[in-house]
Structure 1
Amino acid sequence: MSIFFAAINRFLYFCITMTVSIIIVNYNTLHVLKPCLDSIIEHTIGIDYEIIVVDNGSTDGSIEVLSQDNRITLIQTGENLGFGKANNKGLEQAKGKYILFLNSDTLLRNNAIKIFYDFAEQYQGKLGALGGILEDRQGNKIHSYGQFPKMSNDMQKYLWTPILKGFRIYRQPTIEYPEQWMKVDYITGADLFVRREVLNECGAFHPAFFMYCEESEMEHRFNLHGYDNVLLNGPRIIHLEGEGGKDGKSSRFIRDTYRQQKSEYIYFKLTEPHWKYFLYRTIHPVLRLTVWLNPNVSFADKWKFTKQLYVSIIL
């Protein structure tokens, strides 16, 4: 009798679980989401998976189209919760042993999910987040990983780099990419492959973030729990950065820059001692005034950003 019940339990387990849950957040990105879904279906073989799309209150007809797509599970939030909170909503319904957080503006070009899975199963150590080397449409390598936010990095990025560019003596640093794989601080949020057990232990995206830095903070927690974040050469994923939104370039730059700044404040508040957080809140707005050196941003947007910048010191 015990053998019978064991067999039933095993059958039920495989009925309600699967290997990979792919979670995609959508906010008015139907024009890129549809090709993304098609690329997953086309290239993913040899592994069972589900696709969960979390719609953040889109108004571009996404709901009408996605509700008719039987390839996906659709979750409607009714409002724009931001990137991390929406992913957490998808995680609540995910059945996979592994979770792939995937941007809607990505395209799979090979059996990337199976490659992620095979590496994760064979990794000798504690694996936290796993991601691939992202490409643009032309096949050029683009932002795929980074260092955890630090004040010294901001000094370099927002102060010394603009000055050196102004004197035309700036040299673009060489970005390292592995022949096979390498440990990094964090994997970009466009393609995060994580074992469900790691998320259960360390927690998923912190609800304080709306957009930007949420993956850095989560993967910082992975590190604190002894897990490695790894960049893997093998999966081929195109990231169509900037094609998800339709605002003007100048306005989008200011909006995204301000959101990133707010998220960096939250990151430092969650990860650093109080005195470091206070110092960062004091120095950082001064560094960001280098936006006035950017010729691609309109005067009106520069002025709007500057006002937001100094209000943020008080709030």
Structure 2
Amino acid sequence: MKGKTSIVMLTYNELHLTKKCIDSIKQHTRSEQYELIIVDNASTDGTKEYVRELNDVIFIENEENRGFAKGCNQGAKKATGDSILFLNNDTIVTENWLSPLREALFASERIGMVGPVSNYVSGPQMVESTYTDVKELPAFAKNYTAAKKGQRTYVHRLVGFCLLVKKELIEKVGLFDERFVYGSFEDDDLCLRSLLNGYQLQIVHDSFVHHHGHATFRANQDTNITTLFTENRLRFLDKWGIDLNLMTPHPYFADLLPEDVACVLDAGCGVGATGLELMNRQSVDMYGVEADPLKAAIAKAYYKEVIEAKADEYPWLEKEAFFDAVIFSDVLEHVSDPWHMIEQAHASLKPGGVIICCLPNMMHAEVLLPLMTGDFTYQDVGILDRGHLRFFTPNTMHALFPDHLFERVIEQRINVPIDQNVQLFFDEIARVGTSLGLQTKALTDQVTLYQLLIVVRKKGGSPSG
């Protein structure tokens, strides 16, 4: 593929790692493929003297440590390539590392950033490595990437240790936000801004880059990694008001969705993390409804359509017999009339379409024991979430899906263990109640049931794809 990549590398001491990184670039990258821009943040170990001797490097020397974001931005402003690769100096690139990244980046106008897999990185970019010494790295990387040739995964987040970005994206959304001092969360911020501008992000599984990890932080004795992370996390929350933990899929729905569905509504889709996991697994058009404007905007980067509204405001009548599946993730307990919503969802399903929902259990000991003492206090999260308008027991959950409309396919319990004495207390209540002819036998199991996952199928045949 024609075109040039501008590699921006920040250095702060750790000369031995910088040398290894530059040597690996020269070994595994054709000279016409890239330009190397090095920004030094006032190293004192001979790094500056070493880089000055390199005649094929654009070198920027800072008289003080200006931090990761500012340093990378300095380098990016010197870039002349059609893409910019931000690369940590504590990395070692491997054979055929850059070409798959560029191929993925320019495969679609919508893709704005891509990243490789590695031995040391947070999130899904980390893969299990079998080498114990960098001498074994070339063989491992060659075998691993050959087995993963062409594999790509869409994500909401890429890590900045090795991040390839289209130049046009930088021109549109801007460079790293320099409020994130010295490093951490500036890459998350750039990812989020990219998504909000409609760009998509991908992990490239046939590009492997070794990462030593936190070498620059360790070289800087004035920087505490934990403190820095905490401070920048607060800066991120202050800027966006959103926690990155929300960008993870619901842990259950992807496995429950039939593999032959092609059109899915994700009610209460959040940032679209669950739908993204489904899209990486199978060919599917995702539709969403989400009341939070920021979350809805993020989901739009990947979903075919996202309507910014409450779930009970969704235009169900416009989607009659349209969906193969409807997902209700923590939704039905937040609406005033969940029974009517299920009727509307039923009409929106094709014959044989499925509804997947997750409902909290009012009978769990977390709620039931305080209630027996007169305490029904709403909480920030959990079964007594302040936003909950309706409360369910296993029996009333089943009543949401009448037998003349649906057949039950799957029920999965999500149990949360309780204190042994509390369990014995409810066991005794169940025993006494049963001896008195009361229907309390099920109480023993119900007090540990926190949520129930339910999959039901619309009666009337199989869904059409």
Looking at structure 2, the residues matched to 242 and 49 of structure 1 have their Cα atoms a distance apart, in angstroms, of 25
Report whether the alignment pairs 1:89 with 2:63: no
Report whether the alignment pairs 1:256 with 2:240: no
* Consecutive unaligned residues in structure 1, runs of 5 or more: 1-16, 136-141, 148-176, 274-282, 284-315
- Superposition TM-score, scaled by structure 2 size: 0.44
Change (3 A) 1:22 1:46: closer
Report whether the alignment pairs 1:131 with 2:103: no
Looking at structure 2, the residues matched to 222 and 264 of structure 1 have their Cα atoms a distance apart, in angstroms, of 19
- Superposition TM-score, scaled by structure 1 size: 0.64
Looking at structure 1, the residues matched to 177 and 24 of structure 2 have their Cα atoms a distance apart, in angstroms, of 29
SS at match of 2:195: helix
- Residues 108-257 of structure 1 correspond to what in structure 2 (within 5 A)? 108-123=93-108, 125-135=109-119, 142-145=120-123, 180-210=151-181, 211-244=183-216, 246=218, 255-257=224-226
Change (3 A) 1:224 1:95: same
| Paired residues of 2:115 and 2:162 also in contact (CA < 8 A) | yes
Looking at structure 2, the residues matched to 145 and 83 of structure 1 have their Cα atoms a distance apart, in angstroms, of 21
| Paired residues of 1:146 and 1:186 also in contact (CA < 8 A) | no
1:120-172 C-alpha deviation (Å, 9 max, x unpaired): 2223x51122001112xxxxxx325469xxxxxxxxxxxxxxxxxxxxxxxxx
- Which letter does structure 1 place at the counterpart of 2:163? L
1:82-136 C-alpha deviation (Å, 9 max, x unpaired): 111100000111101000000000001112112211222223x51122001112x
SS at match of 2:118: strand
Partner of 1:271: 240
Looking at structure 1, the residues matched to 151 and 122 of structure 2 have their Cα atoms a distance apart, in angstroms, of 15
Shift of 1:184: 1.2
Shift of 1:45: 2.7
Partner of 2:326: none
Shift of 1:181: 1.0
- Which letter does structure 1 place at the counterpart of 2:95? N
Q: Which has the higher helix share?
A: 1
Shift of 1:243: 3.8
* Consecutive unaligned residues in structure 2, runs of 5 or more: 126-147, 243-379, 381-465
Change (3 A) 1:206 1:244: closer
Looking at structure 2, the residues matched to 246 and 144 of structure 1 have their Cα atoms a distance apart, in angstroms, of 18
Counterpart of 2:47 (choices 47, 57, 62) is: 62
Counterpart of 1:27 (choices 6, 9, 12) is: 12
Counterpart of 2:86 (choices 101, 124, 144) is: 101
SS at match of 1:122: coil
- Which letter does structure 1 place at the counterpart of 2:40? D
Q: CA RMSD in A?
A: 2.7
- Residues 72-87 of structure 1 correspond to what in structure 2 (within 5 A)? 72-87=57-72
| Paired residues of 1:146 and 1:185 also in contact (CA < 8 A) | no
- Bigger-Rg structure (1/2): 2
Looking at structure 2, the residues matched to 55 and 29 of structure 1 have their Cα atoms a distance apart, in angstroms, of 11
| Paired residues of 1:144 and 1:187 also in contact (CA < 8 A) | no
State, as a whole percentage, how many aligned pairs show the same letter: 29
- Which letter does structure 2 place at the counterpart of 1:180? Q
SS at match of 2:190: helix
Q: Which has the higher contact order (CA 8 A, sep 6+)?
A: 1
| Paired residues of 2:4 and 2:83 also in contact (CA < 8 A) | yes
| Paired residues of 1:133 and 1:144 also in contact (CA < 8 A) | no
Shift of 1:18: 5.7
**Residue-pair matches, total:** 219
Change (3 A) 1:102 1:95: same
Shift of 1:178: 10
